[in-house]
Homo-oligomer: A and B are copies of this chain.
Amino acid sequence: MYAENKITSCANCARCWTNFRNLTEEELELINKNRYEATFKPSEIIIKQGSPASNAIFLISGLAKVYMEGYSGKNLILNLAEHSTLLAGPGAHVNARYTYSVAAITQVQACFINFDTIRKVISANPGFASGFIEDLSDKSFRLHQKILNLTQKKMHGRLAEALLYFADSIFRSDEFEMVLSRQELGEMTNMAKESVVRIIGEFENENIIHATPRSVKILDRDKLLVISEKG
């Protein structure tokens, strides 16, 4: 399942990770030589939690879900990832295992880059190392927010927030395709799928959103924001 329209080189890849801009031509060429491109179909697993973390994966295009496999088969979706995103997981620098799984939602085009190469470039280029630290910090920061949200908000707040996440961070529109099932929406907000259904119904009755199984339209963003903030 390799892509037809492959990227010819990192040097002219428009969707590459911003931090690659910090590299010299030679370094970029080193990355370019050591990358492998692949395409994934919806629902295919790109990264499997617990497996040896040998490669960082960059998303060139498509949408994927990042999730942890928890106890007794219960998943927790941490976030969605789109193009220009680096997926590595902190485990790479801790126990050489992927800390989370990643699965394609739409068709996904991705680059595999060996960690040895990444580490080499980190050691050689301080600017790149700093960029790497910023990226790690940003992800950690979001995780800190998420842990607060999941533990301190009630169901309505968590779901409202998830809907705003889709609108603001992923689709940049108040009307969007619902790419996750109710079950997955539950895995993202830490609630049962039945509760997701119920609360979406309530939001509809109050004319806050209009929802079908595969689409959502936010009608009253202000109300949704209040619900999201008040928990």
Contacts and interface: CB of A to CB of B under 8 A. Distances in A.
B90 A137 contact: yes
Interface residues of A, number: 43
A137 B56 CA distance: 14
A148 B93 contact: no
Given A126-B129, A136-B133, A90 B151 contact: no
Interface string A97-136: 0011000000000000000000100111011011011101
Contacts of A151: 70, 76, 150-151, 190
Given A70-B148, A99-B141, A100-B144, 15 more contacts: A71-B148, A90-B136, A90-B140, A93-B134, A93-B138, A94-B138, A94-B141, A119-B130, A123-B127, A123-B129, A136-B137, A143-B143, A143-B144, A143-B147, A150-B151
